[in-house]
Amino acid sequence: MPMIRLHDKNFELYLTASSIAERVNSIATQINTDFATKKPLFIAILNGSFMFAADLFKQVSIDAEICFIKMASYKGTKSSGQLVTAIGLDMEVFARHVLIVEDIVDTGNTLHEFLPQLQHQQPASLQVAALLHKPEATIYPIQVRYIGFSIPSQFVVGYGLDYNGLGRNRPDIYRLSE
């Protein structure tokens, strides 16, 4: 089992780059159909979603826009529960078909805070695409329309996700090894 070490912890290979690419492509195909005439606005939540958002957006062949916001609630391998907005939204959301792009929906805290703020601006529709979903970790139930992989409640890194800043550059996803 291929392993990597980041800071003080070992991680084992969990999802390969090719299995991720396959899921990203099928989500993009679905989005191309569902939003065909809707010129959707993708809002990717930094930092973790940058790789997923880029790969997904490249496979979107319909007219679409993308912008980025930055929110964070994680310190190390635990959610602090406290959300900080570092880069705000610079796009008009009113009457737009909005698709939020997230790396992981874990406790649901980030989207529980952010979705009502967006809803307030009256988008035509509001959906979420998440590469990973940890249903067992959910505290705030969030409807995720497009899910790459549902995974158990375990800490993962790679493909944009980090452990204290490291691991984002790995093309595969690794899980914390006991």
Instruction: Catalogue the active-site residues.
Output: 106
- The correct pick among 15, 105, 118, 144 for binding ligand IMP (CB under 6 A) is 105
Binding of ligand IMP at residue 107 (CB under 6 A)? yes
Report residue 23 CA to chain centroid gap: 13
Residue type, 3: M
- The correct pick among 42, 74, 114, 146 for binding ligand IMP (CB under 6 A) is 74
Shortest CA distance to 100 belongs to which of 149, 41, 174? 41
Q: Which stretch binds ligand IMP (CB under 6 A): 13-21, 30-38, 60-68, 73-81?
A: 73-81
Rounded Cα–Cα distance for residues 105 and 130 (Å)? 7
> 43 to 72, contacts with ligand IMP by CB under 6 A?
48
Rounded Cα–Cα distance for residues 159 and 157 (Å)? 7
Largest CA distance in the chain: 49
Site size with ligand IMP, rule: CB under 6 A: 17
- Return the structure tokens found at 91: 């796009």
Binding mask 144-163 for ligand IMP (x = CB under 6 A): -----------xxx---x--
Binding of ligand IMP at residue 129 (CB under 6 A)? no
Name which of 43 and 105 has its Cβ closer to ligand IMP.
Answer: 105
Kindly give the interhelix angle for 17-34 and 50-58, rounded to the nearest 10 degrees. 60
Binding of ligand IMP at residue 110 (CB under 6 A)? yes
Bridge partners for 101 per DSSP:
44, 129
Name which of 48 and 123 has its Cβ closer to ligand IMP.
Answer: 48
Per CB under 6 A, residues contacting ligand IMP are: 48, 73-74, 79, 102-110, 155-157, 161
